[in-house]
Structure 1
Amino acid sequence: MANHKSALKRIRRDEAVRLRNRYQHRTTRNAVKRLRSEESKEAAETLLPSVVSMIDRLVKRNIIHANKGSNLKSKLTKHVSAL
């Protein structure tokens, strides 16, 4: 068990940050799935910028690796242009 007041605070903060990261990651994954399942090119083109923005936000906050974000954006852009 933690002995210092700062260690207890750190434990509380880490849990809050972990839950926030999980929520943001899950929300982005659902948006990516929704974009991949989209069959209309117009709808996919309107959805793409928001999904790319979500991915960039995860990369900026180190929730996912920068290369994984780039790969995701590239594959999604290719998918939308191929529709």
Structure 2
Amino acid sequence: MPQHQSAKKRVRQNEKRRVRNQSKRSKMKTLINNALETTDKEEAEKAFKKASSCLDKMAAKDLIHKNFAARKKSKIADHVNSL
């Protein structure tokens, strides 16, 4: 357990951030799966737009690596183009 006031505050901040990041990552994974599972071209394009936007925002905030975002966007784009 932390002894100093600043260390206690750091523990509280880290917990808040962990929960926030966990929820954002979960939302991101859901959007990616939705985009990859759709079989309708129009729905897939809408899902791609949502997932792409989410991935870009997460990469900009350093929650995920920019190459991870690029790789997932590419995979979804390939799926959409194959429909």
Pairwise TM-score range, normalised by the shorter structure: over 0.9
Could you tell me how far apart the structure 2 residues matched to 1:31 and 1:50 are?
A: 7
4+ residue segments displaced more than 3 Å:
none
Q: Normalized against structure 2, the TM-score is what?
A: 0.94
Gaps of 5+ in 1: none
Matched residues in 2 for 1:51 and 1:20: separation? 18
Structure 2 partner of 1:53: 53
In 2, Cα distance between equivalents of 1:40 and 1:77: 14
Q: Report the Cα offset of residue 81 of structure 1.
A: 1.0
Question: Between the two proteins, what is the percent identity of the paired residues?
Answer: 31
Number of the residue aligned with 2:3: 3
| Distance in 2 of aligned mates of 1:75 and 1:47 | 13
Question: Deviation at 1:60?
Answer: 1.3
Q: How many residues align?
A: 83
Residue 41 in structure 1 maps to residue 21 in structure 2: no
Q: Which runs of 5+ in 2 are unaligned?
A: none
Tell me how far apart the structure 2 counterparts of residues 46 and 26 of structure 1 sit (CA, whole Å).
Answer: 19
| 1:17-69 deviation digits (Å, cap 9, x = unpaired) | 01100100011101111111100001111221111010111111211111111
* TM-score for the superposition, normalised by structure 1: 0.94
